[in-house]
């Protein structure tokens, strides 16, 4: 490899041997053969793609850093809120008591905050009590007219089901009558709940 004698601030060409012949490169990495014909242009798109990749990685790194900072902030905010709640409980429950006494020591504080829970135990989920709601006027109407509707189903040889006939019969009911059926459903529900509560009270009193 050698430099040509041509050298100037605006011109620089480098001579290289390649497979027994010579090629020439200028400062922009454009390659020429001995006849001065351009044989290779510099791949500017390669540099562009590299710059794009680096820019993308930089943005992803910055985004990742911001997400970590946000996550840390949420953790700190949660810890601050939790500590505040604990402090409020301690002030409310143990105001005026002496730290280290039988009324205010580590065991008493942990019992107040955590109850019988021990590390490693599975947290017991409270069973959700299913709320019993009154029937709708439509459903109560069908319930009270069950025998009549079943007879109609039988007369039609099952070509129409119970719900289909119930819907047709309900459509014949006026708005005022529908309100009456809704009230009947509500009254029936309240009556059944009263009987249930009374029965439970009787059972309790008998056991006492």
Q: Which residues pair with 16 in a beta bridge?
A: 23
Picking from 177, 116, 113, the residue whose alpha carbon sits closest to that of residue 144 is: 177
User: Which pTM does this prediction carry?
Assistant: 0.36
Residue-wise burial string across 7-44, b where 16 or more C-beta atoms lie within 10 A, e elsewhere: eeeeeebeeeeeeeeebbbeeeeebbeeeeeeeeeeee
Q: Is the pLDDT of residue 72 over 80?
A: yes
pLDDT over 90 (residue 181): yes
What pLDDT score does 64 carry?
83
Phi, psi (deg, nearest 5) at residue 96: 85, -5
Separation between Cα atoms, residue 94 and residue 86, nearest integer Å: 12
Residue 166 has pLDDT above 50, yes or no: yes
Separation CA 56–CA 2 (nearest Å): 40
């Amino acid at each position: 490899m050698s430099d040509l004698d041509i050298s100037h601030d605006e011109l620089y060409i480098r001579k290289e041997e390649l497979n027994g012949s010579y090629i020439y490169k200028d400062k922009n990495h454009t390659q020429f053969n001995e006849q001065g014909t351009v044989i290779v242009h510099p791949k500017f798109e390669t540099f562009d793609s590299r710059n794009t990749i680096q820019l993308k990685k930089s943005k992803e790194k910055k985004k990742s850093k911001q997400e970590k900072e946000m996550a840390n902030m949420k953790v700190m905010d949660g810890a601050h809120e939790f500590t505040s709640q604990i402090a409020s409980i301690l002030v409310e429950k143990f105001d005026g008591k002496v730290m280290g006494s039988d009324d205010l020591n580590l065991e008493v504080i942990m019992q107040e905050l955590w109850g019988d829970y021990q590390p490693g135990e599975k947290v017991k989920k409270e069973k959700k009590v299913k709320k019993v709601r009154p029937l709708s006027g439509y459903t109560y109407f069908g319930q009270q007219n069950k025998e009549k509707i079943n007879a109609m189903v039988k007369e039609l040889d099952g070509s129409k089901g119970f719900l289909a006939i119930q819907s047709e019969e309900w459509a014949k009911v006026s708005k005022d009558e529908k309100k009456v059926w809704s009230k009947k459903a509500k009254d029936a529900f309240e009556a059944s709940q009263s009987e249930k509560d009374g029965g439970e009270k009787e059972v309790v009193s008998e056991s006492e």
